[in-house]
Amino acid sequence: MRIKSYQELRSLLFENQTVKQTIFKNTFWLAVAEGISRFLTLILFIYVARILGATEYGKFAFAIAFIYLLSILSSFVSPQIITREFSQDKTKEKEYSSILSLKILLGLGTLILIFISSFFIVLDPLIQKVIWILAIYSFLNCFFEIFYAFLRAHQRMEYEAWAKILQAICIATFGFFVILRFPSVENLSYGYLLASLVSLTIFLSFFHLKVYRLSLEWDKSIWKRILLMSWPLALVGTLTIIYTQIDSVMMGYFGQITETGWYNAVYKITGAALIPMVLISQSFYPVLSRAFKESKERIQKIWNSQMEIMIFLAFPITVGGIVLAPKIIDFIYDQSYAPSVLAFQILILMVGIMFLYNSFYQVLIVSDNQKKIFWAVFIGAIVNVILNLILIPKFSLYGAAVATVITNLLIFFLFFRFTLKFTSIKPFNSKFLFTFINAALSGMAMCFVIVQPQVYHFHVLLSILIGIIVYFVCIFGCKKLIKYIFPLWPFRK
């Protein structure tokens, strides 16, 4: 793609022209936003974890996990459903004012629920206060997704990207100021609250003036229709929060506050490893939604492209994370977090599994099979709670990590089965098989190289770079070799 003028560059990055160009534009902006926001957030949390220590950081992580666990009501307006509906029928945008008012009511209900529940789950007055402060922060924060849903329907991810960057800069600015000048869990919570208030105010003004004039309407018939469509995904979100946050809440409840700090420290790294998956899925989702209305062949082709990218990214992240885990933890934190290395090696398997099942998850949504997603995640959440109750008292953070991996593996299996049964997608084809084998072999080659003492003892960033180079050289080399040996294989199509 050759850019000859400023106007062409502007069109490429700010206009929706073709499907490929729109996907590229959206992916570019989301990549920039996620890269900046995740980087700033990760750096902030590294300093928080180092300055406060595992125990104090564990209190903050416990409060956040508890709030997420009780964010049930506010999730009953699904951003993905709004994006799907607005993408498929632009006339439904007139319902947006009613959707916004519903979101406000559900958010207030969540605030009250968190406030009351905090008295029963923890006796420490400091942690209670942190929960209350962060609950207000969460209430303000939940509105960003409802605005992003509108922007995604219009495939204007550049606006979403600017909002995310603004939010990340505010959080990093206030967070670093507090943690360096007035280090405490409570002050850090106030920093988060102030950052959310400032960034939401600025973004609301922009959205109202440049995108869509905001107002509140109280149409109960629209509320009912949105809730009926959203409840499966809303419960999926709630159940996902349960199986991702219940382990931290349980460890905190069992008095394992330091272990909670270790566990959440590595969870932040695995979250950063999921950035490519988030970018790709958000860019492909509106296109998949439209393709579903067009033809089976078109949605199959787009799904194949997304799945191929996910497979190619899953293997190096998983293999490299397992092999280089001790060096990664030591580089990001320090030796006091060494007990979290094994937990990180277990959790990085979860990352690979999530890369592989994300495409199945998205096609179930666009084909209006969100109820199947609900049942898959419901079963996974039940299994996760049971496993955590068994494993955490005996194995602490390592048991929690194992429970998380088993849960995601079960959900992957269910998503796969539901996709085969209830959608037109055919995941088994020669191209899929070739992609999987190619990625697996290249991952093995990468592993062989980075475990060599000469490479392993380099600085961790250099070891990672060498691993990436080896992996993608093998990917393209293997692809060329197979095509040369078997020139008529259907994966060439």
Model confidence pLDDT, tens digit, residues 21-66:
777 777 777 778 877 887 888 788 888 888 888 778 888 888 888 8
Helix (H, G, I), strand (E, B) or coil at 184: coil
Task: Tell me what pLDDT residue 452 has.
Answer: 92
Task: Tell me what pLDDT residue 60 has.
Answer: 84
CA 271 to CA 34: how far, in whole Å?
A: 11
- Residues 6+ away with beta carbon under 8 Å from 464: 320, 324
Q: CA angle, corner 19, sides to 96 and 417, nearest 5?
A: 80
Task: Tell me what pLDDT residue 8 has.
Answer: 63
CA 475 to CA 483: how far, in whole Å?
A: 12
Comparing CA positions, the residue from 276, 414, 293 lying closest to residue 351 is 276
CA 84 to CA 364: how far, in whole Å?
A: 12
- Residues 6+ away with beta carbon under 8 Å from 450: 320, 323, 324, 456, 463, 466, 467, 470
At 230, is the pLDDT very low, low, confident or very high (cuts 50, 70, 90)? confident
Mean pLDDT of the chain: 83
Sign of CA dihedral 34, 39, 40, 41: positive
Q: What is the mean pLDDT of residues 91-110?
A: 84
Q: What is the mean pLDDT of residues 53-82?
A: 79
CA 460 to CA 274: how far, in whole Å?
A: 19
Contact 316, 468 (CB under 8 A): yes
Buried b (16+ CB within 10 A) or exposed e, 335-354: eebebbbbbbbbbbbbbbbb
Q: What is the mean pLDDT of residues 180-202?
A: 90
CA 92 to CA 82: how far, in whole Å?
A: 9
The answer, yes or no, to whether residue 393 has pLDDT greater than 50, is: yes
At 7, is the pLDDT very low, low, confident or very high (cuts 50, 70, 90)? low
The answer, yes or no, to whether residue 493 has pLDDT greater than 50, is: no
pTM reported for the whole predicted model: 0.69
The answer, yes or no, to whether residue 259 has pLDDT greater than 90, is: no
Task: Tell me what pLDDT residue 492 has.
Answer: 46
Give me the residue label for tokens 């955490």. 392
- The per-residue pLDDT for range 134-185, each reduced to its tens digit, is 989 888 888 888 888 888 877 777 888 888 889 889 999 999 998 888 888 8
Task: Tell me what pLDDT residue 120 has.
Answer: 78
Q: What is the mean pLDDT of residues 467-485?
A: 80
Contact 312, 286 (CB under 8 A): no
- Residues 6+ away with beta carbon under 8 Å from 291: 298, 299, 302, 366
- The per-residue pLDDT for range 162-172, each reduced to its tens digit, is 888 898 899 99
Count Cα atoms within 13 angstroms, Cβ side, for 117.
17
Q: What is the mean pLDDT of residues 291-305?
A: 83
Sign of CA dihedral 173, 175, 181, 187: positive
Rg (CA), the chain: 23
Task: Tell me what pLDDT residue 405 has.
Answer: 94
Q: What is the mean pLDDT of residues 196-215?
A: 87
- Residues 6+ away with beta carbon under 8 Å from 20: none
Helix (H, G, I), strand (E, B) or coil at 486: coil
At 338, is the pLDDT very low, low, confident or very high (cuts 50, 70, 90)? confident
At 446, is the pLDDT very low, low, confident or very high (cuts 50, 70, 90)? very high
Give me the residue label for tokens 């149409």. 219
Q: CA angle, corner 38, sides to 35 and 43, nearest 5?
A: 120
Give me the residue label for tokens 């564990």. 58
The residue ranges of every structural domain in the chain are 17-427
Comparing 113-127, 169-183, 330-344, 462-476, which segment has the lowest mean pLDDT? 113-127
- Residue 229 or residue 115, greater confidence: 115
Q: What is the mean pLDDT of residues 483-491?
A: 56
